């Protein structure tokens, strides 16, 4: 379980903000947790250490302030935080799409210096290649890797079935609904077999019913595929339904304020949001986030 | 569903669709009005025929010049100039525009220069081109090139620049290398917009035809117009103008078909 490095020792002089580090356990019989629970904390896949991000020069806006976290192998880790707290920026840094001002990010022990196929990403905006069919979109990564055609076909078929879009294999993205596009985006990222899957509010642009369906689908896929996931959202329900662990971020400059262990047994259904354990955790996170918003005003 | 909107309401609602038959009728009515107005002015002798020929005379001239092959000859010469000039321009402008829109390091040196040249009137370069290139077809092609290239460059660079950053980012996370992004992602993503740009600039290329044939040409639609002006043959001028318009319409339609074929994914 000790897969967390907190920033309690943050050296910023501000001092007024109490950085809490807490682990809240819901009252669940330990035996009913995910079968891979222990195995998942066995190794660290992604380690973010003392990452600071400042836009522009030394007087620029401080977006991330000394953030450290670790994501264990096959863990589903969720970051929640108020809008503008830098949680998406953190994900872009992890993907190698932007450079941190200081600090380091490692995936499987290797320093992240540029984007690469070992860190798949699903974006909030629709990023399917509009000139490629659904099949060709999913095939893009395996093709770049130089896998032979037969193997690519098997991978594509597997993930088309996984996200339930086999009948739409030859459609173009413009012919798909928003939810379907994000399903293809997930399939496309997974087909590349990344060490870690980064998800930046992937369901943020969807209506609430589609979002529920997508969460269910993602859980099913994740439980079967066993992937390391770092997921960013501002939706607390989403964070608790999906995550093994929820990290709560402060308002800008973003820091990690608390870690909440979600010991709700898997496989989880969408009805879990009505259970007392779930509500207790949600109340806890809401309280943490409200402090943030109040501090701001 | 009950038809609650009257035809008039539909016609006067912003962005509302109208039936295809209504659209065709309106388009035909416009042509009939233009040609009818022309007929009225010319046959009615409101404007002397010396200045405004009758539609009948123009058709007769077209028929006569088709029979002796001169219409085809001049049309072919003009089309060759425009299409060659346009192709040479596009072949350079598409890759250079893509690089300009993609790399700030290409944009920074080129953009100020291109924006300077873009506003220079093509006509002012005609004497220079004659001195440098002579009076052959190359000179006319140079005029078409000069008129379209710099506009194309700026517009195609904008097409490339408006490609979504996250589309490129997504391709990186799937294993695309930085050096591959231009051709693997930015080019196909910008292709529908590039084809639209080419269609629009093709129209501009046609508008430079008469300028190109103003001096030192011995054939072409612009050339026969100028010759006809000296002989007061307004009917020939009208025919040449109609022929240019028709050719423009044909190339425009060809580009629409090409876009639908090459980029069927883009609505």
pLDDT at residue A33 is higher than 80: no
Cross-strand pairs, A196: A119, A228
B35 and B104 in a single domain? The answer is: no
A234 and A289 in a single domain? The answer is: yes
Domain boundary among A193, A212, A240: A193
Model confidence band, residue A294 (pLDDT cutoffs 50, 70, 90): low
Angle at B142 between CA B136 and CA B146, to 5 degrees: 160
Strands A228-233 and A196-200, bridge-based pairing: parallel
pLDDT at residue B215 is higher than 90: no
A177 and A57 in a single domain? The answer is: no
Please count the residue pairs, one from chain A and one from chain B, whose beta carbons lie less than 8 angstroms apart: 72
Flag whether the pTM goes above 0.90: no
B48 and B148 in a single domain? The answer is: no
B25 and B76 in a single domain? The answer is: no
| Per-residue tokens: B47 | 């404007």
Q: Which residues in chain B are closer than 8 Å to A131, comparing Cβ atoms?
A: 188-189, 191, 263, 265-266
* Residues in CB range of B11: below 8 A, 6 or more apart: B18, B22
Distance CA B243, CA B65 (A): 12
Q: Best of A130, A139, A189, A197 to disrupt the B interface by mutation (most B CBs within 10 Å)?
A: A130
Residue B200: Cβ-neighbour burial (10 angstroms; 0-12, 13-18, 19+) = middle
Distance CA A145, CA A141 (A): 6
How many structural domains comprise chain A?
A: 2
A81 and A114 in a single domain? The answer is: yes
B142 and B209 in a single domain? The answer is: yes
A114 and A201 in a single domain? The answer is: yes
Cross-strand pairs, A248: A80, A258
Highest mean pLDDT among A266-275, B204-213, B243-252: B243-252
Please give the pLDDT value at position A17: 37
Cα torsion B16, B21, B27, B32: sign: negative
Check residue B182 and report its DSSP letter: I
Angle at A204 between CA A198 and CA A210, to 5 degrees: 110
Domain boundary among A173, A193, A213: A193
> Which of B175, B188, B265 is the closest to A117 by Cβ?
B175
Angle at B145 between CA B142 and CA B148, to 5 degrees: 150
B36 and B158 in a single domain? The answer is: no
Min Cα separation B265/chain A (Å): 6
Model confidence band, residue A7 (pLDDT cutoffs 50, 70, 90): very low
| Per-residue tokens: B105 | 């390091």
How many structural domains comprise chain B?
A: 2
Q: Do A131 and B185 touch (CB under 8 A)?
A: no
Angle at A88 between CA A141 and CA A199, to 5 degrees: 40
Q: Do A130 and B266 touch (CB under 8 A)?
A: yes
Angle at A20 between CA A17 and CA A26, to 5 degrees: 150
A218 and A177 in a single domain? The answer is: no
- Is B267 domain-assigned? no
- Is B254 domain-assigned? yes
In contact, A64 and A86? CB cutoff 8 Å: yes
Distance CA B55, CA B30 (A): 16
Please give the pLDDT value at position A295: 57
Average pLDDT in the B48-62 region? 93
Q: Which residues in chain A are closer than 8 Å to B185, comparing Cβ atoms?
A: 129
A19 and A112 in a single domain? The answer is: yes
Axis crossing angle, helix A208-225 with helix A149-162, rounded to the nearest 10 = 130
Check residue B26 and report its DSSP letter: H
**Window from A82-86, A226-230, A258-262, B139-143 with minimum mean pLDDT:** A82-86
ipTM, 2 dp: 0.83
Per residue in A105-137, pLDDT tens? Answer: 999 989 999 999 999 999 999 999 999 999 999
A92 and A238 in a single domain? The answer is: yes
% residues pLDDT > 90 (chain B): 78
A264 and A136 in a single domain? The answer is: no
* CATH at B176: 1.10.3720.10
- Is B246 domain-assigned? yes
Q: What range does the domain containing A153 cover?
A: 128-193
Distance CA A190, CA B192 (A): 29
* CATH at A231: 3.40.50.300
Q: What range does the domain containing B123 cover?
A: 55-262
Q: What is the CA radius of gyration of chain B?
A: 23
Give the residue from chain A lying closest to B186, CA to CA: A129
Distance CA B176, CA B180 (A): 6
Q: What is the dihedral of CA B29, B35, B39, B41, to 10 degrees?
A: 100
pLDDT at residue A42 is higher than 80: no
Please report where in the chains the tokens 């070992």 appear, as a residue. A118
In contact, B234 and B53? CB cutoff 8 Å: yes
Q: Best of B165, B173, B261 to disrupt the A interface by mutation (most A CBs within 10 Å)?
A: B173
Cis check for the bond before B94: say yes or no (omega within 30 of 0): no
Kindly report the number of other CB atoms within 10 A of residue A280's CB atom: 12
Distance CA A283, CA A288 (A): 9
Domain boundary among A193, A209, A225: A193
């Amino acid at each position: 379980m000790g897969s967390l490095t907190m920033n309690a020792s943050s050296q910023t002089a501000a001092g007024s903000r109490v950085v809490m580090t807490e682990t809240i356990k819901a009252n669940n019989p330990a035996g009913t947790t995910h079968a891979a629970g222990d195995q998942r904390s066995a190794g660290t896949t992604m380690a973010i250490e003392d990452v600071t991000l400042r836009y522009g020069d030394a007087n620029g806006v401080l977006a991330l302030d000394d953030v450290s976290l670790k994501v264990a192998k096959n863990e589903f880790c969720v970051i929640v935080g108020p809008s503008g707290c830098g949680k998406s920026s953190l994900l872009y840094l992890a993907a190698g799409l932007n450079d941190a001002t200081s600090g380091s990010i490692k995936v499987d022990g290797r320093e992240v210096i540029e984007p690469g196929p070992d860190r798949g990403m699903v974006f909030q905006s629709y990023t399917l290649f509009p000139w490629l069919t659904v099949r060709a979109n999913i095939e893009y990564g395996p093709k770049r890797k130089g896998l032979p055609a037969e193997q690519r076909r098997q991978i594509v078929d597997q993930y088309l079935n996984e996200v339930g879009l086999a009948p739409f294999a030859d459609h173009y993205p413009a012919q798909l609904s928003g939810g379907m596009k994000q399903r293809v985006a997930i399939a496309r990222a997974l087909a590349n077999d990344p060490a870690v899957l980064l998800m930046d509010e992937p369901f943020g642009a969807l209506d609430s019913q589609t979002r529920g369906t997508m969460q269910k689908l993602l859980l099913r896929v994740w439980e079967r595929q066993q992937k390391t996931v770092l997921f960013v959202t501002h939706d607390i329900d989403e964070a608790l339904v999906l995550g093994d662990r929820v990290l709560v971020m402060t308002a800008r400059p973003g820091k990690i304020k608390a870690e909440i262990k979600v010991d709700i047994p898997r496989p989880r259904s969408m009805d879990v949001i009505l259970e007392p354990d779930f509500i207790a955790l949600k109340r806890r996170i809401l309280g943490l986030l409200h402090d943030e918003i109040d501090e701001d005003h | 569903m009950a038809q609650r909107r009257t035809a008039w309401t539909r016609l006067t609602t912003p962005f509302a669709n109208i039936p295809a038959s209504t659209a065709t009728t309106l388009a035909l009515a416009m042509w009939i009005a233009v040609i009818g107005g022309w007929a009225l002015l010319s046959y009615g002798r409101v404007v002397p025929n010396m200045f405004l020929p009758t539609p009948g005379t123009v058709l007769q001239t077209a028929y006569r010049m088709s029979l002796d092959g001169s219409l085809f000859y001049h049309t072919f010469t003009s089309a060759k100039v425009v299409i060659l000039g346009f192709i040479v321009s596009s072949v350079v402008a598409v890759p250079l525009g893509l690089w300009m829109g993609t790399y700030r390091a290409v944009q920074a040196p080129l953009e100020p220069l291109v924006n300077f040249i873009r506003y220079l009137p093509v006509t002012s370069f005609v004497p220079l081109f004659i001195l440098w290139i002579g009076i052959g077809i190359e000179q006319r092609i140079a005029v078409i090139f000069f008129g379209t290239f710099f506009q194309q460059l700026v517009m195609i660079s904008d097409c490339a620049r408006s490609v979504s950053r996250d589309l490129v980012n997504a391709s990186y996370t799937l294993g695309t290398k930085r050096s591959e992004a231009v051709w693997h992602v930015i080019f196909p993503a910008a292709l529908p917009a590039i084809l639209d740009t080419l269609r629009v600039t093709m129209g501009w290329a046609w508008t430079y035809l008469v300028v190109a044939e103003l001096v030192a040409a011995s054939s072409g639609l612009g050339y026969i117009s100028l010759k006809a002006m000296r002989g007061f043959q307004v009917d020939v001028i009208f025919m040449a103008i109609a022929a240019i318009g028709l050719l423009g319409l044909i190339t425009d339609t060809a580009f629409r078909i090409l876009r639908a074929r090459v980029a069927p994914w883009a609505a």
